[in-house]
Structure 1
Amino acid sequence: MKPILKFFLITLMSAGALGVQAATDDERIRLLEEQLRQQKQVLQAMEAEIQRLKAGQPATVAGSQEEPQAPASVAAADQSTDMEIDLYGHIQLDAIYDFKRVDPDWESTLRPSTIPVDDGTFGDDGNTVVSVKQTQMGFRGRAGTPWGELKTWFEFDFFGTGSDAGQTKFNLRHAWVELGGLGFGQTNSNFMDISIFPNVVDWWGPSGMAFNRNPQVRYTWLLDRGEFALALEKPNGSFNSGIFGEISPEFGERATDRTEYPDLTAHWRNEFDWGHYQVAGVVRQLGFETRGTPDNEPNDDEFGWGLNLTGAVNTVGRDQLKLGLVYGEGIASFMNDGGVNLAPEDNEAKAVEVTGVTVYYDHYWSDRWSSSIGWSMHDNDTLDQMADSEFQTGQYASTNLLYTPYPNLLIGSELLWGNLENVAGEDGDDYRLQFTFKHKFGKSL
């Protein structure tokens, strides 16, 4: 019982006792002495309680006992489950003046494959585009476990793709989990090197670099200066029926790609004081079939493969020269823009030969001013039975001037040029000027 409560109870009891007529004077004296003794004990207890409160010590509760401590290993495991979460993102506005026109679904970025080869296809020259599609948000989590560090990554923007192309809609970029060397979910393909993506503000970027975010399972081994990684990735097939689709529209509608096995990708990366280099490869099974026909014929299978050699060289200060060379057969779906994996030739399917080149230089004038300038090209080999309108070569070039008045704010302008050439040799180009305003934010939760 708390001392203060006990004091009041004794006082009340004493008052009641004093109200009772004692039989003799000796009994009254004995009762008064007993009351004084009890009140003295209560006052001593109250004084001790006041001193404890001043010292900030915990109270001792009758009947309680100290809980046994968990073993150190168990305590560490419980503590390790606490995940640190970082929220980050940016709000971005792009104001673009397109001196010509591109496919309206992709007017918020420059993709060479969307440039028309015939004037007026998408309207008269000149178009203003204002977009917030590059606005982005993400979460990163970290936690220790007995099997290594657990990392999670979830990121999205609002650049609608696929059936949502042209709309400001949710677009998943990363949904990724790593535990030690094991990773699974969707993230950058194991075949690509995001480190060579230049310091540009256009959303799409160089057409000649390998760039693909893919669902995958990956395992990474850390090396002295870098890493080696193997992955099984979602196969992304693409088949073009070529002139057969023009001759037989029914075949063109029924013929579709077939992806029986996952793609196997690997990369080996080494980092040095002067920069880094990365060698990546992919092997894949490609095929097509005709739906709704006996045995799904005609059908065919092909072998696809590719190599991606990339690197960045540190030059002066923070400046970097970024280089990439991609070559292979049937790997157009790994490229940043344009092309098909399979096309008809001699009444069979053939893996289309692909070459990609990227050369960019990032320069920092000061802590607040920077620029990037470069060129990129993606070329597909032409096959005799390809449709004339099919993508053959896409080129992309840009230069910019970016200003960062303080770390979380970027203001910049970028001049871009793109060119498309189709199988028939027809070509079209586009010029655009982009102004970008971007504010970053972040918070540890």
Structure 2
Amino acid sequence: MPSGTRSARTLCLGVLASLAGMMPPAQAQTMAQAPAGDAATIAELRRQLEDMRRRLEQLETRSARRPPAVAAVPAPPRPAPAPAPGPGPAPAAEARAARDAAREARTAADQARVAQQDAEQARQAAAAVTAPVQGLDPPEPMGRQNFAGEGGDALRADLPGIAFRVPGAATEVRLYGFAKLTAFTDANGRNQTDAPAPALIPLTGSAADRQGGEFGMGARFSRFGVDTRTLTGWGTLETRIEGDFGGGAPTSPNAVFRLRQAWAELGTPAFRVLVGQANSLWNEGLFETIIDATNLNQSFVRQAQLRITGRLAPGLTGQASLEAPETSYVSGTGLFTPGSSLNNGASPAFNAWPDLLGRLTYADAGWEFGLRGLLRNLRVETAGTAATGGRRDATAWGFAGHVRMPLRILSPAFGSDELVGMAFYGEGIGRYFFGGTGGQDATSNIGLASAGLGLRLDPLPAWGMTAAWRRFWLPPLRSSFAYSYARQDYPGYALEFAPGSTAALSLNRELHQAFANLIWSPFAEARNGSVSTGWLDIGLEYLFTRRDLFGAAAAGGPGGVGHGIANRVLVGAIARF
């Protein structure tokens, strides 16, 4: 073989060898998993390389078939003939062909290298979107384990395509929420709301009671939110924006969006700080229901606040917050908050200081103990309003405690069953127990003859208790049974409220409520002694409510009956994402 051909062949084989060396078996497997466009490019390059290899082999074969040179007896010298025109010697043409093949091989090698780099970058980009951020806690599972009420994060999602990492940043973003449909029918008075507060059910003998029960259905409490978590030098920064469509009238088909939560929290499990609108530290759902009401002795207040959370010991968490206040009082002229109007003027209800709240929670092995307290300032300021009397301040306070007990400590046969008990006492805590009081914190004698003897503002003493049993018949099938009782005590001058007035008919002395439901979660799973309910719940629920007025018949209820009774049956379906 001529030296030029051998050199070109050596160069081509070197390029081919280097290209082949770029693709060991493991790399070939990676290429096989590359996107369809990259795989097609690599296949085309391989085909070109195979064509060049065959061309080199043909050149070698032609060189091998040329007859070998034979030594001859020198002849007498003769004049050299003139060179005949025509193509150059064959070896020169073959060398040029080999050099062209080498250049093509180098070009193919470069293209293959670029394609391989593009495929690797695509693979890394895809991994960056789905891979967790090192140092952030893993996503929480879908569905509920132990019911944690409004304060929990039970609805944070971890489904593929919904939870993702921001490329090039130490941030994870999640979309979460649910679509919910409920339908109900009442056996007593007509109560046109899908979220009835026990304090406001129709009274026996009222116009609504005489009309009878009514059917209703809606989906306005469907919810969605965006949750982000980012690693910083000061710990994890978590933000949340959450809303639903429960801001409009219950009977309107045009649901109105409302903001539920909007906050940011920064820190570590040992200590963190939250600012924004979030669930109050007083909130406690206690047991699972289908209805979206603020039930008796439950609290679902969401408001602006500054909160700190610290880990005091293993399993023990302490929290304190300054939260937005709202003084609420009832008098002979009606029920007032700072946003109300008295005779088309300003409201005497006045906010002077934020509410101070604290909470201790201990949780271990299914047990949970909680203690919460609050301290508030209530104020009536009549200057600049249609009322007279001046200023009056009152101090409000309250405590509540609950315990959650796993029944498996009594017998393994109880599985994931649990008992919950709660009790509270306080003065002026009505806005945190809307279900029992309709929001009343205090009474005042504004508008009464006795106001001439001096303006009064009396925080309402209130106490109550709740007991509930959560029973798992099977992992996909569970029930909650609950009973709640609450009582408010009013000063004697409240009997001077005009009989039949809004003020008189809002004075609930005692309330009772009972729940029973059956919920099916077809995708539920048993996990480490608890049940994860999955993304779909379908349930049937019954609730009984009774309220008795202060002064009973003296309050002037329709027909002289000072109580109301409600029986409701509802069905609901909730699909989380």
Which deviates the most, 252-261 or 123-132?
Answer: 252-261
Is contact 2:522–2:537 with CA below 8 Å preserved after alignment? yes
State the shift of 1:102 in Å: 4.7
CA distance in 2, matches of 1:226, 1:415: 36
CA distance in 1, matches of 2:363, 2:280: 19
What residue is the counterpart of 1:46 in the other structure?
Answer: 104
State the shift of 1:35 in Å: 11
Alignment of 1:143-162 (within 5 A): 143-160=230-247
Is contact 2:320–2:357 with CA below 8 Å preserved after alignment? yes
Alignment of 1:64-143 (within 5 A): 81-104=169-192, 107-122=193-208, 124-143=211-230
- RMSD over equivalenced CA pairs, Å: 3.5
Alignment of 1:233-312 (within 5 A): 233-242=323-332, 255-293=347-385, 297-312=389-404
Q: 1:34 to 1:219 in 2, by over 3 A?
A: farther
- TM-score, structure 1 as length reference: 0.78
What residue is the counterpart of 1:394 in the other structure?
Answer: 511
More strand by share: 1
Structure 2: gaps (5+ residues): 1-82, 119-133, 136-165, 336-340, 408-413, 446-453, 498-503, 524-533, 553-561
* 1:47 partner letter: A
What residue is the counterpart of 2:571 in the other structure?
Answer: 435
More helix by share: 2
What residue is the counterpart of 1:206 in the other structure?
Answer: 295
What residue is the counterpart of 1:348 in the other structure?
Answer: 456
State the shift of 1:193 in Å: 3.1
* 1:359 partner letter: A
What residue is the counterpart of 1:72 in the other structure?
Answer: none
Is contact 2:342–2:386 with CA below 8 Å preserved after alignment? no
What residue is the counterpart of 1:19 in the other structure?
Answer: none
Q: 1:348 to 1:404 in 2, by over 3 A?
A: same
CA distance in 2, matches of 1:242, 1:253: 17
* 1:94 partner letter: T
State the shift of 1:402 in Å: 1.3
What residue is the counterpart of 2:543 in the other structure?
Answer: 416
Is contact 1:330–1:353 with CA below 8 Å preserved after alignment? yes
Structure 1: gaps (5+ residues): 1-24, 60-74
CA distance in 2, matches of 1:403, 1:98: 23
CA distance in 2, matches of 1:348, 1:241: 10
CA distance in 2, matches of 1:335, 1:88: 28
State the shift of 1:433 in Å: 0.7
CA distance in 2, matches of 1:225, 1:266: 17
CA distance in 2, matches of 1:347, 1:221: 43
Is contact 1:184–1:218 with CA below 8 Å preserved after alignment? yes
* 1:325 partner letter: A
Q: Equivalent of 1:217, from 298, 306, 310?
A: 306
Q: Equivalent of 2:427, from 315, 319, 329?
A: 329
Quick one: higher RCO (CA 8 Å, sep 6+), 1 or 2? 1
State the shift of 1:350 in Å: 1.2
CA distance in 1, matches of 2:93, 2:226: 68
CA distance in 2, matches of 1:52, 1:244: 84
CA distance in 1, matches of 2:93, 2:326: 92
The count of residues paired between Structure 1 and Structure 2 equals 395
Q: 1:297 to 1:46 in 2, by over 3 A?
A: farther
Q: 1:110 to 1:244 in 2, by over 3 A?
A: closer
CA distance in 1, matches of 2:387, 2:550: 32
CA distance in 1, matches of 2:520, 2:422: 27
Is contact 1:239–1:256 with CA below 8 Å preserved after alignment? no
What residue is the counterpart of 1:179 in the other structure?
Answer: 266
CA distance in 2, matches of 1:87, 1:305: 38
Percent of residue pairs identical: 23
2:102 alignment partner, SS class: helix
1:361 equivalenced with 2:469 (yes/no): yes
* 2:444 partner letter: P
Q: 1:130 to 1:294 in 2, by over 3 A?
A: closer
2:103 alignment partner, SS class: helix
- TM-score, structure 2 as length reference: 0.61
CA distance in 2, matches of 1:330, 1:220: 26
Which whole-Å deviations, capped at 9, do the CAs of 1:212-242 have from their partners, x for residues lacking one? 1121111111232131111110002102123
1:333 alignment partner, SS class: helix
State the shift of 1:413 in Å: 0.9
State the shift of 1:252 in Å: 10
Q: 1:441 to 1:351 in 2, by over 3 A?
A: closer
Is contact 1:209–1:356 with CA below 8 Å preserved after alignment? no
* 1:269 partner letter: T
1:46 alignment partner, SS class: helix
Q: 1:336 to 1:211 in 2, by over 3 A?
A: farther
CA distance in 1, matches of 2:403, 2:360: 12
* 1:101 partner letter: G
Q: 1:36 to 1:267 in 2, by over 3 A?
A: same
Which deviates the most, 147-156 or 362-371?
Answer: 147-156
Is contact 1:209–1:325 with CA below 8 Å preserved after alignment? no
Q: Larger radius of gyration, structure 1 or 2?
A: 2
Alignment of 1:160-171 (within 5 A): 160=247, 164=249, 166-167=251-252, 168-171=255-258
CA distance in 2, matches of 1:151, 1:250: 42
